[in-house]
């Protein structure tokens, strides 16, 4: 582990109901950097440990956790520009590659070349091991054909957690599923069986003043 992350904050100033009312997909961001504390909070909401036995913030079928995260940091205080792996349970970050060109390469791997992926202060990259789910459920009728479906249900829960945490931090994000998975995985040098399945660019939302206080 190259970088130990701050402890997540477990109490907030925005109610769940207010966060749900304010949740929107935000595709344009201010140029301000993220703080390491903000990034930590987003990653904790996505996959942080919430119990002593390793259970996480987002539910996972049979607690298999076939998803993992990477972060592309361009403007995050305290982090050099580059690609970082996120330790299981969100304890810290491991520097994988230095440089600020990974976001632009990932943008080109998105369908319609979505500019918000390249412009965000950071991008949360969601990787999946679909084969693990297929193998686990293959011999478990009537679930044997649903392993990959369970994976995407978990992805939806993870993404909603990030959305709501973003609102509470006065940040903006959007779930980008329109990607060429093969091209995106190649651009980020992801090795099988892992593959990029979605990305969430994050930045300070210009319309943050509209968020309930």
Band (pLDDT 50/70/90 cuts) for residue 158 is: very high
Residue 160 has pLDDT above 70, yes or no: yes
CA distance linking residue 1 with residue 95, whole number of Å: 8
pLDDT tens-digit profile of 20-46?
Answer: 999 999 999 999 999 999 999 999 999
Q: How confident is the model over 67-95, as a mean pLDDT?
A: 94
As a whole number of angstroms, the distance between CA 90 and CA 140 comes to 31
**DSSP codes joined into one string, 91-106:** -EEEEEEE-S-HHHHH
Residues of the chain above pLDDT 70, percent: 96
Q: Is the pLDDT of residue 208 over 60?
A: no
The superfamily CATH assigns to domain 3-205 is NADH Oxidase (3.40.109.10)
Q: Where would I find the beta strands (DSSP E) of 107-194?
A: 122-128, 171-173
Strands (E), 46-113: 67-73, 82-86, 92-98
Predicted confidence (pLDDT) per residue in 89-146, tens digit = 888 999 999 988 899 999 999 998 899 999 999 999 999 998 888 888 887 778 777 8
- Where does residue 66 rank: exposed (0-12), middle (13-18), buried (19+ CB within 10 A)? buried
State the pLDDT at residue 147.
81
């Amino acid at each position: 582990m190259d970088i130990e992350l701050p402890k997540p904050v477990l109490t907030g100033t925005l109610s769940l109901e207010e966060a749900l009312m304010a949740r929107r997909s935000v595709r344009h961001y201010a140029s301000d950097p993220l703080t390491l504390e903000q990034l930590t909070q987003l990653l904790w909401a996505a996959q942080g440990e919430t119990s002593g036995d390793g259970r996480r913030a987002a539910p996972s079928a049979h607690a298999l956790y076939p998803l993992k995260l990477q972060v592309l940091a361009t403007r995050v205080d305290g982090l050099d520009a580059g690609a970082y792996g996120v330790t299981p349970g969100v304890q810290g970050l491991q520097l994988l590659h230095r440089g600020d060109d990974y976001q632009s390469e990932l943008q080109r791997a998105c369908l319609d070349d979505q500019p918000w992926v390249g412009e965000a202060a950071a991008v949360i990259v969601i990787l999946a091991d679909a084969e693990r789910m297929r193998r686990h459920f293959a011999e478990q009728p009537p679930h044997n054909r649903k392993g990959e479906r369970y994976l995407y249900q978990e992805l939806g829960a993870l993404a909603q957690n990030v959305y709501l945490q973003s609102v509470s931090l006065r940040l903006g994000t959007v779930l980008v599923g329109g990607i060429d998975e093969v091209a995106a995985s190649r651009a980020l040098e992801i090795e099988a069986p892992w593959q990029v399945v979605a990305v969430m660019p994050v930045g300070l939302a210009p319309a943050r003043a509209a968020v309930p206080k």
